[in-house]
Each structure stands twice: as structure tokens, then as C-alpha cells.
Amino acid sequence: MSLGRTGGEAQERPLAATTAGEPIAADRGVLPGEDPVEEVLSLLRARGGRVTSSRRLLLRCLFGDGAHRTAEELAEAVQAQAPDVHLSTIYRNLDELERLGVVVHAHLGHGPATYHLASETHGHLVCESCGTMVEASEDLFASLAEEARERFGFVIDPRHFAVLGSCRHCAPPDSRV
């Protein structure tokens, strides 16, 4: 398996450890273009928004690794550094960031939605038995996209909702032909 990644083994770079709780260069006027976090923050500011510490922390979590995280997981990561940040603040900021086109959310089956950077465009295959998630580049869906457009005039979006099924380990042998 080359592209496969399971839900459990997500390489979880510990967010707090990198800067050990003390403010990084970000606070004293970093040039936009250097740090993606600060870049987004100044985009936010340019739109009349405010730069707050919870937003900065949330963005650091999102840019920290490419993982797919639920709002709750992100809240936990943020709260590791700022315990008072409320879950609803996370939801509101994720909404805002989605409106800005920085992040997108995806529904990987039952359970909560997961958020990741909008720059990663891929679809998801999720195993209904074990929850394993496979990220698939969009070209996997090319032929489906074409047929759906031809037959129904329907333009599919393979990113927002996962395609469910059975992974290589859970699929019954006879269904794999």
C-alpha cells in the first residue's frame, strides 16, 4: 500500500512540543509569505477580521501536519496550549476559515466531520468495518465524473463525502474477484 493511511496511525506530530508554549516569531510582525499561518491571519485581518490567539493556535494545528482532524480533536490540541478556548470557538473559526477557502471539511462516514487544508485535494475511501481511510487523488474519480456528467449532467464532488466500502483487509475474498 503506497498511499494508504489508516485512521489510527496518523503521524501525530505533537503540536505543543515544537514551540514549548512560548510565543514564536509570529508576534513581532512577520512578513506575510513566510509563514502560512501568518499569511492566513493577515488575509483575515485584511477582510476586517481580528487576529486572536485562538485563531493562531488553530491555524498552527491545521498547518502542523496534514492530518484529518475532527473539531473536537482540534479543540483538544488547541486547549493543550490555551485551555480556555471553547469548542464553539473552534467551530466558528473553522466555519470562517472554510469561508475563506483555507480549510475544507469532509464527512468520512458516520461520526463527526473532519477538517483539513483546502490545498490538499483528494477524495476519501473509508472502510465501513474498520474505519481505515485511504486518500485517493482526484483522478481516481475521473471516469465516474465523466460518466455522471454525460448521463445526468451531474458534476460530482468526490472530496466532500467519502466513498464507503471495504478495505483490502475487510473485504470478503469473493467480492474482490
Partner DNA sequence: GGCCTTCTTGCGTCCTGGTCGCATCAGGCT
Partner DNA sequence: AGCCTGATGCGACCAGGACGCAAGAAGGCC
Q: Which residues bind a copy of itself (CB under 8 A)?
A: 1, 3-4, 109, 125, 127-128, 134, 136, 140-141, 143-144, 147-149, 151-158, 160-168, 171, 175-177
Out of 30, 91, 136, 148, name the contact with DNA by CB under 7 A.
Answer: 91
Q: Does 112 bind DNA (CB under 7 A)?
A: yes
Pairwise CA distance, residues 32 & 41, whole Å: 9
Out of 24, 36, 39, 70, name the contact with DNA by CB under 7 A.
Answer: 70
Q: Tell me which residue has cell 486572536.
A: 52
Q: Does 29 bind DNA (CB under 7 A)?
A: no
Pairwise CA distance, residues 122 & 146, whole Å: 17
DSSP 42: H
All residues at 6 or more sequence positions from 83 whose CB lies less than 8 Å from its CB, including other chains: none
Which region, judged by CB under 7 A, interacts with DNA, from 8-16, 83-91, 134-142, 151-159? 83-91
Q: Does 6 bind DNA (CB under 7 A)?
A: no
Q: Where are the alpha helices (DSSP H) in 70-153?
A: 71-79, 87-99, 142-152
Q: Does 89 bind DNA (CB under 7 A)?
A: yes
Out of 8, 21, 29, 48, name the contact with DNA by CB under 7 A.
Answer: 48
Least distance to DNA from the beta carbon of 139, Å?
28
The total number of residues shown for the chain amounts to 177
- In the list DNA, a copy of itself, none, the entry touching 99 (Cβ below 5 to 8 angstroms by class) is none
Q: Closest Cα to residue 13, out of 56, 58, 77?
A: 77
Pairwise CA distance, residues 54 & 75, whole Å: 10
